[in-house]
């Protein structure tokens, strides 16, 4: 039960959710503090979009690339900016190589940045973008029925609206209350600076990683359900938060959206490997076929499969060209919110990322 269900749920929050939450909260604070100057800067200087996209994407984890997806859905950044981020990101498999060999990780991420930058500018230069995406603009804010006017039915509607908001406020408060200690536990555990068993013994047999992780994912699921499964960052109201409290509620909603879908991916992968015995090692991963397999696996959204694939490299199970092809092709968890907001754009973007993935992988085969 622990390894089949609880462990994947905990990993979704501890390995992904807390880092996404930190990134989303940081950018949310910057947007609240400085208004739209950052996003307006991207909109005014679209030529630097792919550069910013590659920089955000190459940061470890998925948070940087995820930030761009709602901006793209609102028409604030170019399609090339999104592609640059998706090519440059290695998602949460970044943590695997960072913990294994930091110098190698820096070299690999430098390569991802260069390829992402070049691909993003090429996409914008060629005008390769879904036709329907250019006109996307935020929907106008409309006052909810019953909030216009004084008492009577309007007051009753207001009370009902407030009653509906209270669970979300409470859940978002709980989310941040769990995120803070979870981040403090996750960082040393993920970077192998501390033995999780030692923490468990210190706390009298309570596993803080598992406990905080499961509670965090369940809280994220509650917020996800309250939001009816929608990403929080696609309306004019959420894009222009009026207070820090509203920013934090919105950030909790956005981070919860990602956490829930990552949990689904992790849980599904765990069930698949447990019931069928498939762990990726059955694939042919060398030579030209290995490069194509690596690029093809990168088409799978989410980080779970990619983390396992990167783990095979760390354990000597596949060559460098195959790893690089996968690292370039994979889009991490950033593809999930993009698919929810602009499905056609997500399909097009993830197909495009496989082109430089195969090209660079084959080039490394020739060089090495």
Taking the chain (368 residues) in runs of 10, the rounded mean pLDDT of each run is 81 84 79 66 76 88 80 85 94 80 91 96 88 44 35 42 50 89 87 79 86 93 77 46 76 82 80 75 73 91 79 80 94 83 89 95 92
* pLDDT at residue number 236: 40
Q: CA 12 from chain center: how many Å?
A: 11
CA 352 to chain centre: 19
- pLDDT reported for residue 104: 93
Tokens of 288: 């030209």
Write down the pLDDT at residue 239.
47
Q: Tell me, what's the pLDDT at 334?
A: 84
Q: What is the pLDDT of residue 352?
A: 95
HSE, CB side, 13 Å, CA atoms: give it for residue 361.
31
CB 309 within 8 A of CB 297: yes
Specify the pLDDT at position 69. Answer: 84
Question: Residue 181's CB: how many other CB atoms inside 10 A?
Answer: 13
Instruction: Name the H helices within 127-152.
Output: none
**Cβ atoms of 332 and 90 closer than 8 Å:** yes
At residue 71, the pLDDT reads 82
Each domain of the chain, given as residue ranges in start order, spans: 1-137+155-277
- How confident is the model at residue 40, as a pLDDT? 67
Structure tokens at 16: 């992904």
91 phi/psi in degrees, rounded to 5: 60, -150
pLDDT of residue 131: 63
What single string gives the DSSP state of each residue in 31-88?
Answer: HHHHTTHHHHHHHHTGGGHHHHHHHHHHSSBSHHHHHHHHHHHTTSS-HHHHHHHHHH
DSSP 3-state of 150: coil
* Burial status of residue 243 (CB atoms within 10 A of its CB: 0-12, 13-18, 19 or more): exposed
Angle formed at CA 358 by CA 104 and CA 289, multiple of 5 degrees: 95
| pTM (2 d.p.) | 0.64
Radius of gyration of the chain (CA): 21
DSSP letter at 319 equals -
Beta bridge partners of 61: 91
Of residues 253, 255, 256, 213, the one with CA closest to residue 5: 213
255-to-23, 30, 66, 184, 346 alpha-carbon distances in Å? 9, 16, 10, 17, 19
């Amino acid at each position: 039960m622990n390894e089949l269900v609880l462990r994947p749920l905990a990993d979704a929050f501890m390995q992904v959710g807390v880092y996404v939450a930190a990134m989303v909260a940081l950018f949310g604070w910057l947007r609240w503090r400085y208004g739209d100057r950052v996003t307006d800067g991207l909109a005014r200087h679209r030529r630097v979009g792919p550069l910013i996209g590659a920089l955000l994407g190459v940061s470890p984890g998925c948070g940087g690339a995820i930030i761009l997806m709602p901006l793209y859905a609102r028409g604030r950044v170019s399609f090339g900016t999104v592609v640059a981020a998706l090519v440059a990101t290695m998602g949460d498999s970044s943590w695997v190589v960072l913990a294994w060999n930091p110098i190698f990780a820096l070299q690999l991420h430098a390569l991802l940045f260069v390829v992402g930058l070049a691909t993003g500018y090429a996409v914008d230069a060629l005008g390769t973008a879904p036709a329907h995406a250019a006109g996307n603009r935020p929907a106008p804010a409309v006052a909810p029925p019953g909030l216009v006017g004084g008492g009577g039915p309007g007051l009753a509607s207001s009370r009902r609206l407030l009653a509906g908001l209270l669970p979300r406020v409470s859940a978002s408060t709980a989310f941040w209350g769990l995120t803070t200690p979870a981040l403090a536990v996750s960082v040393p555990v993920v970077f192998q600076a501390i033995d999780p068993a030692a923490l468990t013994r210190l706390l009298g047999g309570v596993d803080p990683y598992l406990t905080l992780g499961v509670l965090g994912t369940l809280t994220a699921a509650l917020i996800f359900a309250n939001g009816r499964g929608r990403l929080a960052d696609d309306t004019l109201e959420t894009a222009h938060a009026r207070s820090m409290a509203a920013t934090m509620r919105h950030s909790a909603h956005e981070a919860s959206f990602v956490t829930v879908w990552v949990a689904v991916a992790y849980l599904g992968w765990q069930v698949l490997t447990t019931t069928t015995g498939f762990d990726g090692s059955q694939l042919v991963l060398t030579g030209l076929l290995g490069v194509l397999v690596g690029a093809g696996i990168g088409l799978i959204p989410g980080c779970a499969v990619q983390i396992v694939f990167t783990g095979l490299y760390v354990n000597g199970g596949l060559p460098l060209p195959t790893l690089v092809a996968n690292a370039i092709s994979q889009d991490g968890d950033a593809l999930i919110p993009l698919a929810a907001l602009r499905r056609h754009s997500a399909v097009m973007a993830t197909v495009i990322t496989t082109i430089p993935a195969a090209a660079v992988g084959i080039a490394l085969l020739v060089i090495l």
